[in-house]
Structure 1
């Protein structure tokens, strides 16, 4: 069962997003086989990120928690909150799975 991971940045740690960005991209590339989708949550003007969303194809909450724990952004203490939830795929890329 896929998992949705939603992260919320700590405003005072915003510099970590810039400092660890390339490490984070490398991490995503290394784990692309697990990613259904992922990306930053942006301000309305698209200029600032303040968190992210990951849809990962993992079997257990423990695997999802271990995944986000190994992200360089987590290592840099960027996030003030991380929410991990099971996710049921209904539509993906225009395909209905129900």
Structure 2
């Protein structure tokens, strides 16, 4: 089952991240066949690493927590926060290189009226916008409902947020969805 794992960097750790980069990549190589999406979030100018995103297919929540907590950057104390949430992947396309992308995300309390699987997919439209590279509904641990959204959009943050807002509000059963948007880059070894 897929899990969305987001780790936010501690402030001023760029040099340390570089020191641990090979250990991080070697660790991720062990999961290469299970990684659906991977890559860093970066500052608006693209110069600074701000976090890491992984969507990984693992057996259960315990395996996802282990994946996150055994990651070398986390073990070295370079992350300040971790998010690990079950995800239902609704759309996944291969990202291009050298194209600006934005990671858009939101989380909200579980709604008893959350859309079902078919309705979630329908919120994307029959012909999903070609700028959408990845979209997943974040799920509660029991599969009872939607608790958020994560998307990668081929656009800069403001445009990406505007594109995902109606979809997020549909998932949130019409409630306002406060979206975050930050630059994202395709990750992994070149």
Q: Which range, TM-score by smaller chain?
A: 0.7 to 0.9
List runs of 5+ in structure 2 lacking aligned partners. Answer: 95-117, 122-190
Q: Is the 8 A contact 2:14 2:48 kept in 1?
A: no
Q: Which runs of 5+ in 1 are unaligned?
A: none
Q: Partner of 2:11 in structure 1?
A: 11
RMSD: 1.8
The answer on 1:55 being equivalent to 2:59 is no
Are the equivalent residues in 1 in contact too, given 2:40–2:53 (CA < 8 A)? yes
User: Number of aligned pairs?
Assistant: 96
Give the helix-richer structure, 1 or 2. 1
Superposed CA offset, 1:25-66 (max 9, x none): 111112212211110001111111110110000121110010
SS of equivalent residue, structure 2 residue 89: coil
C-alpha separation between the residues in 2 aligned to 1:26 and 1:78? 17
Q: What TM-score comes out, normalization by structure 2 length?
A: 0.47
How far apart are the structure 2 equivalents of 1:65 and 1:19? Answer: 24
Runs of 4 or more, structure 1, over 2 Å off, are 12-16
Q: Report matched runs for 1:1-98 at 5 Å.
A: 1-93=1-93, 98=121
- Which whole-Å CA distance do the structure 2 matches of 1:73 and 1:16 have between them? 9
